[in-house]
Amino acid sequence: MKDYFRHLEADLRNTALEAWIPLLPDMIDTGLSQQRYGDLPKWQSALERLPQVRASAVELKDRVALGRPEDTNPETRAEIDNLLRILIPWRKGPFDIHGTFIDTEWRSDWKWERLLPHIAPLKDRLVLDVGCGNGYHCWRMLGEGARRVIGIDPSPRFVVQFYMVKHFVGAAPVDVLPTTLEGVGEALPVFDSVFSMGVLYHRHSPIDHLRQLKAMLRPGGQLVLETLVIEGDENAVLVPAGRYAMMNNVWFIPSPDNLLIWLAKVGFRNPRVVDVNQTSTEEQRATEWMTFHSLANFLDPADPNKTVEGYPAPRRAIFIAECD
């Protein structure tokens, strides 16, 4: 797996991210430890066995579609499909790879369509995507012309999924590092855009998370934050007593007005809400590529506006703010 990161040292040298070069070996050894993750050898083997197929087209702007069925033969297409399925569940997407349509749990393209009209154009920007999962949105960022995109996510399954996709894209200035925001060390205020989507409510200290995001932005850089919210005034915040929508690692769910105060309090300029959307069972659902329970199983069967625990059903909001 380390071979997939060998290019990074050369790519980052003499750039704004050069300070990360000494951190890479420990970051990769820890994040992709076979002792910690017993299934990792199986996932790596699937990645290494992917056939070499030249994609006649790579589409990243309006969707993530790599190659066409006619680029190869039926036997090779079947082999690609079988190897990709070893990494189930696929949660973010969808992807179309040489005729294999990975119908992921999340229609992540819907979220992208909601936020794209509101963010600063990504052309030529250096972008950080925190908690990026398998990197679906990283590819959409590149499709919008980003100069370089770095995703970070601590799940080795998602990291391997990313490099399976990159195998078919080929050389591209996009990488996903197997770590957390805390794992990248000291603040590096060089990014033009920093995304944090679906992360804040998993943090024990959301204020510290916002500070860490701000510390990665250059002056004038932009934060794009997407997270769970509840309805209510500026004082409203939900702290689930136990699980929320069957998740046991949800700590704080503020109202939009409350989160705007948090953003201002840590020093972001002009924080604003650009979208609020109640998650539907069409946007998050079980599929043949994610065969476990999904949103429909997490809602009260008698009232889809409530979770099975009796809390308000998931609503997600997108916030934009700038760094002074």
Task: Report percent pLDDT > 70 for the chain.
Answer: 99
The pLDDT confidence band at residue 1, using thresholds 50, 70 and 90, is: low
**Contact present, 19 and 188 (Cβ < 8 Å):** yes
Listed residue (33, 66, 37, 235) closest to 142, CA to CA: 66
Task: Report percent pLDDT > 90 for the chain.
Answer: 93
Mean pLDDT of 109-118: 98
Q: Give the model confidence (pLDDT) of 38-49 as tens digits.
A: 999 999 999 999
Second-level CATH architecture of 2-323: 3-Layer(aba) Sandwich (3.40)
pLDDT higher than 90, residue 18:
yes
pLDDT given for residue 220 in this prediction: 97
What is the C-alpha radius of gyration for the chain, rounded to an integer number of angstroms? 20
Q: What is the mean pLDDT of the chain?
A: 96
Residue type, position 67, single letter: G
Record the tokens describing residue 271, joined without a space: 């924080």
Q: Give the model confidence (pLDDT) of 54-70 as tens digits.
A: 999 999 999 999 999 99
Q: Give the model confidence (pLDDT) of 132-157 as tens digits.
A: 999 999 999 999 999 999 999 999 99
Residue 10 backbone phi and psi in degrees, to 5: -65, -40
Mean pLDDT of 186-208: 96
pLDDT higher than 80, residue 166:
yes
Q: Which one-letter DSSP state was computed for residue 69? A: G
pLDDT given for residue 185 in this prediction: 79
Give this prediction's pTM: 0.96
Q: Give the model confidence (pLDDT) of 282-323 as tens digits.
A: 999 999 999 999 999 999 999 999 999 999 999 999 999 999
Listed residue (322, 256, 324) closest to 120, CA to CA: 322
Please identify which residue in the block is written with the tokens 């995703």. Answer: 151
Q: Which one-letter DSSP state was computed for residue 187? A: -
Mean pLDDT of 165-182: 95
Record the tokens describing residue 32, joined without a space: 């992709």
Q: Give the model confidence (pLDDT) of 81-108 as tens digits.
A: 999 999 999 999 999 999 999 999 999 9
Q: Residues of 262-292 as b/e, b for ≥16 C-beta within 10 angstroms?
A: bbeebebeebebeeebebeeebbbbbebbee
**Contact present, 76 and 191 (Cβ < 8 Å):** no
The pLDDT confidence band at residue 4, using thresholds 50, 70 and 90, is: confident
Return d(Cα 111, Cα 247) in angstroms, integer.
21
**Domain boundaries of the chain, sorted by first residue:** 2-323
Listed residue (315, 312, 305, 232) closest to 277, CA to CA: 315
Please identify which residue in the block is written with the tokens 């007593």. Answer: 241
* SS3 (DSSP) at 211: helix
Listed residue (127, 158, 110) closest to 277, CA to CA: 110
Q: Give the model confidence (pLDDT) of 213-265 as tens digits.
A: 999 999 999 999 999 999 999 999 999 999 999 999 999 999 999 999 999 99
Contacts of 324 (CB under 8 A, 6+ apart): 219, 220, 267, 269
**Contact present, 18 and 12 (Cβ < 8 Å):** yes
pLDDT given for residue 234 in this prediction: 97
**Contact present, 174 and 165 (Cβ < 8 Å):** no
pLDDT given for residue 294 in this prediction: 98
pLDDT given for residue 35 in this prediction: 82
pLDDT given for residue 2 in this prediction: 64
pLDDT given for residue 3 in this prediction: 74
pLDDT given for residue 40 in this prediction: 95
Record the tokens describing residue 18, joined without a space: 């050069």
